Structure 1
Amino acid sequence: MTPTPVARRLTPLALALAVAGTLSLPATPALAAPGQNSDANVSTRPRQDTSTALVQLNGDPLATYVKTRPAKGKKVDFSSNTTRSYRAQLSALRNDYKAWLRANVPGAKVTGEFDIALNAVAVQLNGASLAQVSATPMVKHAQYQGLYYPKVTDPDLALIDAPEAWAQAGGPAGAGAGVKVAIVDSGIDTTHPCFSDAGYPAQTQLGNRNFTNNKVIAAKVFNNKVPQQHFSAEAIDSHGTHVAGTVACNFGTPAPVNGVVTYDMSGVAPRALLGNYNVFPGDVGNARSEDIMNALEAAYADGFDVANMSLGGGAHGAQDLLTIAVDNLDQANMVVAVAAGNEGPGLFTVSSPGSAARALTAGASTVPHFIGTPVTAGGNTYGAASGDFAVVSADLTAALGVVAGPIGGLGDACAALPANSLLGRIALVSRGTCFFSVKIRNAEAAGAVATLVANNGFGDPSAMGTDGLPSQPTIPAYMVSQAAGQALKTLDGSPATIGAALQYFQTVNADIMAGFSSQGPTDVDFRVKPDVVAPGANVLSSIPHTFCAAPPCFAFFNGTSMATPHLAGSAAVVRQQRPGWSAADVRSAIVNTAERGVLRSFSNGALQDNVNINGAGRENLLAAVNAKVALDPVSLSFGAVPSGSGQTRQMSVTLTNLSGAAQTYSLGVSGQPASGVVYGVNPASLTLAAGAKANVTVTMSSSKGASAGGQQAYLEVSAGGGNIAHAALFTLVK
């Protein structure tokens, strides 16, 4: 009997994007699909330095004092006698404060003085409180000093605080250095500048050296038809090269897309070494379990520390052998990052081997940028995403023609429109209900010269695909965001211009859960998956030189395939900085320090906190490299409990002290479900020596008649007065 393929490569943009009714981004990676997001950095890196303060004193500074403030368009006249006199007064006031501080808070020290913009001093607190240093009538206000960061130009790395994590080990020049990451995928194009080995020391190169260098140090092919087809490890498909770029593209590699300048991109671990373990050679579209197993075992035997598997297939319950293999490799000290799958939205959609208990399983969220077309109307410019439809060859200006819908909304144009109702106009319609091709055809039939489709989900527009029929509309068509659509809706009849020149756009739509991202729990044992979320929608990375007219080639892809290499690269950075940690420790550091309260729903923008959609949260690499405790397992599921049974179940979780000193950990539960399920932990506190480990017991108590559905909470671990780790707790009440 022919073996059934159980894992498939995630394929390019296809019919999934042709259906206008779906809110999800493409269920597979999209070549050059315009995504969007912003340079807003939502992160938990410190915003205040609580060891220092700014203390504002009574008295106006020079800029606002009535006798020294400058006239409009002028500057303070520092040479005037009035200014000199007032500066002396302010200096005397500051001296009075410094004398008071020495007498009353002797540990605090003034480190800076100001009199132009603020009448204030900077104070090194040295353990003093804000109340102590402001307990005098001379003080108007005191606050901790803020912490500010240089703008990071690589937006997905900014989201996960990668540059801050690099800084702890010498910056990008050493990020991930020496750590080996196996890309189990469709090959890596070593001719791409992302993988140039200039400046890398000589390495032992394995496999076919036509496709290796001192950066990509292995090139092997795994497919049971290799002898007949003469497959090689060459990167024919674009997927593996894109994934590899996210893991370890050389720092500061310029990344133009279709001639548009974006930024200088970097991999998460730019100095890591890569291995090309090609399980999708040539035009092969799927891989068998044996191919993947062979690739994983070869990578492990070749000394690789991390494996990336941006692939997935149907899960086969608790005895899925590929998931068992992943679990065993983790226990043998290889971190295996795996895609959750692109079958969302919807629970119970996580695929294998992402369903493995000890896989580092990635869900996907948005990155804030895209390449798009400018649409200008009403004095504002909006980014529009193209796709499989015609685009303008020169700037197109015409009146907007808003297709009205029910209750003042936008119409979806899924039914024929009145003849000539859009004659000579740029139609504005809503996404939803029918294929994009249908609504664009209807707009064209009504006389429209172009169509703008407003997204009906939160966030940015996406590329539109056709319905695949021979007869396609011929007018240009683009998607704009839901917010842009609402703004344009008020401009019916006003002139609008669709620009021909592509632009690089940044928006504010970061950290939105991708609609395609597969969701848990797993089947049979109902474990929480994904483990953690990483940027996976609108990810810019490298593709092979054959995919563009003027290499080097870069493109925007969507998929949990794109989130997974963020985790693999993160694992490489953690392993480099924490070489004594086990694979399980690394995995826990990435999962259990993830940021909560930042991910939003793709449907309405509301904060998202379903552990089987977002796992422990969105990863934060800076927090991961500084983890002080590891949890094993990284989440706890108590399985399915009949609603009327009134059961109590217990599970054990092992805590390992990752710090270099003894730690006292406090344990508790947050977010108790108000549904008849209660979680508890015992003991509530324990002290561990450096490197020591101990078990704690988590109890789930379900009352008779507990509400059906998933009941979740978080195990919280604190030390030094702050939360340092959390793990999802889950029970399915049936």
Structure 2
Amino acid sequence: MKSARARRAFVGVVAAIASAAVIGGIFTSATATPADVATHATHGNGDSAIVVFDGEPLLTHPRTSRLRPPLDLDAAPVRAVKKGLAVQHDRFRGWLRASSATVTREYHLALNAVAVELNGAKIADLRGAPGVRGVHRTQSYEPLDTADPDLTLINAISAWRSKQVGGAASAGADIDVGVIDSGIDVEHPCFDDTDYPVSVQRGDLRFTNNKVVVARVFHSDSSLTPEAVGAHGTHVAGTVACNADTPASVRGADVPYRVSGVAPAARLGNYNVFPGDVGTASDEDLLDALEAAYRDGMDVINLSLGGPAARTQDPIADAVDNLDESGVVVTVAAGNDGPGEGTVASPGTAKRALTSGASTVGHFVGTAITTDGRTFRAAAGDFPTVRRDLTAPLGVVEGDVNGLGTACEPLDGLDLTGRIAVVSRGDCSFSAKVRTVEDAGARGALVVNDVAGDPTSMAADPSVEPKPTIPAYMVGRGAARGVLAANGASATIDAEASYFRTGNENIMAGFSGQGPTPDTASLVKPDVVAPGANVLASVPADDCDADTCWAFMEGTSMAAPHLAGMAAVLRAAHPEWTSAQVRSAVVNTAAEGALTQHEDGRTVADDVTLTGAGLADLRAAVGARVALGPVSTSFRTLTGRSPAEATVRLTSLTGKEQRLSVSIDSRVGEGVRFTAPGAVTVPARGTATITLRAVATGGKPDPGPRSAILRLTDSTGTDIAHSVLFAMRR
């Protein structure tokens, strides 16, 4: 069992051998909008590959995995296993002498593998080498962008007040969270280390303090540093662990509450795989960063990044699974390519990853636009804003999206001279729309959202030239009818920014990646949902003109660090819990029925491939009484009438025996019958196992997902945990 104190002791032993720099990528804008700007990883250039060998790495090897974690890398059994792995790698090097490929990096901890430069060699040839389990062409990754409301939505503040946590000052105390991203601005007030105890700091000490205790860069260019050049990583880190009650303002508008991270007392590690203006991070970068984070003693690791889930076996997902088995909770973004079946990104597909979908927070900083006796609230972004009130007639671009056109092509014959153009979101980038209406003579642009909820900050597309110069704002989809009716009427854009609290919250984000995993396992991903649209958090000083910088961002990148903060709070409150128990506490106590569909913001979202177990609830997770493994159960694709079986392991989190009733309800879709035993006794220590069954019923129903909820209740009839059951019909 891994405790924070044990990992602290381990840190000092391995500090001198922690991993150094490799190859990196770029963050998106602080106001990125994932539905309009591509922020997913693409495949690499095809010149390198990850070669995975037979036999387990140090973290899961039979001779070392039973040692008390974290691994002492100087222990005799560990050295012996590592020597054996090195021999295996050397044999492969010898085999390569007849090939043009060369080994560039080695991995022993989370993966038994090497990275190779192909230099014209064929993947198929490498697969024939002795002892090789698999060869995977490398791919690259990008960040997934684009009282404190989001903390209230996940019941974080009430969790802090619980007896298990003991207040904000203890929420995540003595826990280290590694942020593998684009860097952390250590000068931001969110990361002020006043009153933090003196800690051992590692890496580039110019970018560390007693709050951000590690700063490492991963890129082959030795001139790059861990410095936070862009907004993404600092925003993610602030969501995890911004110091409690930090004052904030955005564009001159004071935020009427003080901002806190989910685990405000936690420490952070900066593992910058997107340094400077480099565009992407490779498999090698992530493996180096993951292993460095383990060596540095991180208790939780956050990956707000993703790539295509196209490989039949994903080495990065394997590494995530192995890290979890070794005691590190790894939280991952589900990706921004949703909605749609199978759009979840890698490594959020990993079985043991704590993968997050995204929902809305009902607030933003924006400006008022008045026209025809009505007032609309508008959000800005990367585009110019008015310096003084702008008054001009509205000019509607008509089309098929709520009566509006998307302005993705030249507006032949439409004269918008002197007008504030009104267009719809969708089909092309915001920059393309604004450039189109500016070319037609518009003085300003209003983009109407095409999904339910609030307007969001709009990201600029640097590929659009010439760059738009007119002011541009987004208004909510609910404004569509009003602005259509006001076509030609005078409208005024207010120059003064204001904070708006709207109540448009817990709506599934339209971009949120959706499962099941696109492989034969058909796993339920995301596991759970957290706030990820209009999330307010810290950004680096060079991202604004104010003394301290803050921004609203959206993306599953913003959701995953909520789970990382939750995991840190749980590890501090329950140091005896394993990583699997922490994951279960988060997933299997999530709030059901709290999320609504992005199409209308009203209909309850009951598709588990979109919502997982529901909306994360830290207060419930802190008080979890039983852990389930796995956290959800997939029976894959059912054909014929033979039942499929699966087992779920139950452990008590209270130290007491628990006699529980077992039931299945909340079925969605016909044609599958799920069954479970009616009761189970979970011992005070050890494990109880229940067997679940699923069988196809009826004739040939419509193909698609089927689901139900496995529910555990105590003797008083109180639900204490629930888990998703899932199957596909074809």
Common fold by TM > 0.5: yes
Tell me, yes or no, if structure 1 residue 253 matches structure 2 residue 246: yes
Q: How does 1:492-511 map to 2 (within 5 A)?
A: 492=487, 494-511=489-506
Aligned to 2:350, the other structure's residue is in SS state: coil
Aligned to 2:667, the other structure's residue is in SS state: coil
Identify if the C-alpha distance between structure 1 residues 674 and 252 changes in structure 2 by more than 3 Å, giving closer, same or farther: closer
Q: How does 1:143-542 map to 2 (within 5 A)?
A: 153-168=147-162, 169-223=165-219, 225=220, 228-262=221-255, 263-317=257-311, 319-402=313-396, 409-410=403-404, 425-432=419-426, 449-464=443-458, 468-471=463-466, 475-492=470-487, 494-524=489-519, 525-542=521-538
Equivalent residues of 1:420, 1:447 under 8 A apart: no
Aligned to 2:27: 11
Counterpart Cα distance in 1 of 2:398 and 2:272: 51
| Alignment RMSD (CA, Å) | 2.9
> What do residues 442-478 of structure 1 show as CA deviations (whole Å, max 9, x unaligned)?
7567765433232222112234456744356654332
Which piece of structure 1 moves more, 248-257 or 715-724? 715-724
Aligned to 1:54: none
Counterpart Cα distance in 1 of 2:428 and 2:307: 28
Q: Larger radius of gyration, structure 1 or 2?
A: 1
Which piece of structure 1 moves more, 256-265 or 463-472? 463-472
Aligned to 1:83: none
> What do residues 132-177 of structure 1 show as CA deviations (whole Å, max 9, x unaligned)?
xxxxxxxxxxxxxxxxxxxxx2111111110000001322121111
Equivalent residues of 1:16, 1:27 under 8 A apart: no
Aligned to 1:147: none
Aligned to 1:596: 592
Aligned to 1:672, the other structure's residue is in SS state: strand
Counterpart Cα distance in 2 of 1:299 and 1:412: 44
Equivalent residues of 2:391, 2:493 under 8 A apart: yes
Instruction: Look up the equivalent residue of 1:627 and give its one-letter code.
Output: A
Aligned to 2:478, the other structure's residue is in SS state: helix
Equivalent residues of 2:30, 2:553 under 8 A apart: no
Aligned to 1:686: 680
Counterpart Cα distance in 2 of 1:14 and 1:276: 18
Aligned to 1:713: 708
Instruction: Look up the equivalent residue of 1:547 and give its one-letter code.
Output: D
Which piece of structure 1 moves more, 493-502 or 252-261? 493-502
Give the Å deviation of 1:410.
Answer: 4.4
Aligned to 2:659, the other structure's residue is in SS state: strand
Counterpart Cα distance in 2 of 1:191 and 1:388: 23
Identify if the C-alpha distance between structure 1 residues 587 and 437 changes in structure 2 by more than 3 Å, giving closer, same or farther: closer
Counterpart Cα distance in 2 of 1:389 and 1:437: 8
Q: Aligned match of 2:635 in 627, 630, 638?
A: 638
Identify if the C-alpha distance between structure 1 residues 406 and 251 changes in structure 2 by more than 3 Å, giving closer, same or farther: closer
TM-score (norm 1): 0.75
Identify if the C-alpha distance between structure 1 residues 371 and 7 changes in structure 2 by more than 3 Å, giving closer, same or farther: farther
Counterpart Cα distance in 1 of 2:39 and 2:704: 29
Instruction: Look up the equivalent residue of 1:294 and give its one-letter code.
Output: D
Equivalent residues of 2:31, 2:552 under 8 A apart: no
Identify if the C-alpha distance between structure 1 residues 423 and 265 changes in structure 2 by more than 3 Å, giving closer, same or farther: same
Aligned to 1:700: 694
Aligned to 2:609: 612
Aligned to 1:24: 35
Aligned to 1:230, the other structure's residue is in SS state: coil
Counterpart Cα distance in 2 of 1:355 and 1:635: 13
Aligned to 1:731: 727
Equivalent residues of 2:26, 2:274 under 8 A apart: no
Give the Å deviation of 1:433.
Answer: 5.3
Counterpart Cα distance in 1 of 2:540 and 2:455: 26
Counterpart Cα distance in 1 of 2:435 and 2:278: 35
TM-score (norm 2): 0.76
Equivalent residues of 2:27, 2:231 under 8 A apart: no
Equivalent residues of 1:419, 1:447 under 8 A apart: no
Give the Å deviation of 1:178.
Answer: 0.8
Counterpart Cα distance in 2 of 1:472 and 1:287: 27
Equivalent residues of 2:35, 2:337 under 8 A apart: no
Unpaired segments ≥5 residues, structure 2 = 1-21, 41-146
Counterpart Cα distance in 1 of 2:411 and 2:216: 56
Counterpart Cα distance in 2 of 1:489 and 1:310: 38
Aligned to 1:294, the other structure's residue is in SS state: helix
Identify if the C-alpha distance between structure 1 residues 405 and 244 changes in structure 2 by more than 3 Å, giving closer, same or farther: closer
> What do residues 278-299 of structure 1 show as CA deviations (whole Å, max 9, x unaligned)?
2223333322323322222222
Instruction: Look up the equivalent residue of 1:662 and give its one-letter code.
Output: E
Equivalent residues of 2:31, 2:382 under 8 A apart: no
Aligned to 2:572: 576
Instruction: Look up the equivalent residue of 1:679 and give its one-letter code.
Output: F
Counterpart Cα distance in 1 of 2:400 and 2:280: 45
> What do residues 164-218 of structure 1 show as CA deviations (whole Å, max 9, x unaligned)?
0000132212111111111122222211111111011111222222222111112
Equivalent residues of 1:309, 1:338 under 8 A apart: yes
Which piece of structure 1 moves more, 599-608 or 314-323? 314-323
Identify if the C-alpha distance between structure 1 residues 431 and 337 changes in structure 2 by more than 3 Å, giving closer, same or farther: closer
Identify if the C-alpha distance between structure 1 residues 695 and 279 changes in structure 2 by more than 3 Å, giving closer, same or farther: same
Aligned to 1:292, the other structure's residue is in SS state: helix
Counterpart Cα distance in 2 of 1:407 and 1:326: 41
The number of residue pairs the alignment matches comes to 595
Q: How does 1:30-109 map to 2 (within 5 A)?
A: none
Aligned to 1:540, the other structure's residue is in SS state: strand
Give the Å deviation of 1:421.
Answer: 7.0
Unpaired segments ≥5 residues, structure 1 = 1-5, 18-22, 30-152
Aligned to 2:118: none
> What do residues 480-527 of structure 1 show as CA deviations (whole Å, max 9, x unaligned)?
111122234344554431111222222121112122221111122111
Equivalent residues of 1:179, 1:273 under 8 A apart: yes
Aligned to 2:661: 666
Which piece of structure 1 moves more, 260-269 or 619-628? 260-269
Aligned to 1:55: none
> What do residues 631-665 of structure 1 show as CA deviations (whole Å, max 9, x unaligned)?
100011111234xx233100000111112433221
Counterpart Cα distance in 2 of 1:441 and 1:214: 46
Tell me, yes or no, if structure 1 residue 560 matches structure 2 residue 567: no
Identify if the C-alpha distance between structure 1 residues 679 and 553 changes in structure 2 by more than 3 Å, giving closer, same or farther: same
Counterpart Cα distance in 2 of 1:572 and 1:16: 27
Identify if the C-alpha distance between structure 1 residues 509 and 24 changes in structure 2 by more than 3 Å, giving closer, same or farther: farther
Instruction: Look up the equivalent residue of 1:549 and give its one-letter code.
Output: D
Equivalent residues of 2:368, 2:494 under 8 A apart: yes
Instruction: Look up the equivalent residue of 1:630 and give its one-letter code.
Output: A
Aligned to 1:504, the other structure's residue is in SS state: strand
Counterpart Cα distance in 2 of 1:707 and 1:286: 41
Identify if the C-alpha distance between structure 1 residues 680 and 476 changes in structure 2 by more than 3 Å, giving closer, same or farther: same
Counterpart Cα distance in 2 of 1:414 and 1:194: 40
Identify if the C-alpha distance between structure 1 residues 650 and 409 changes in structure 2 by more than 3 Å, giving closer, same or farther: same
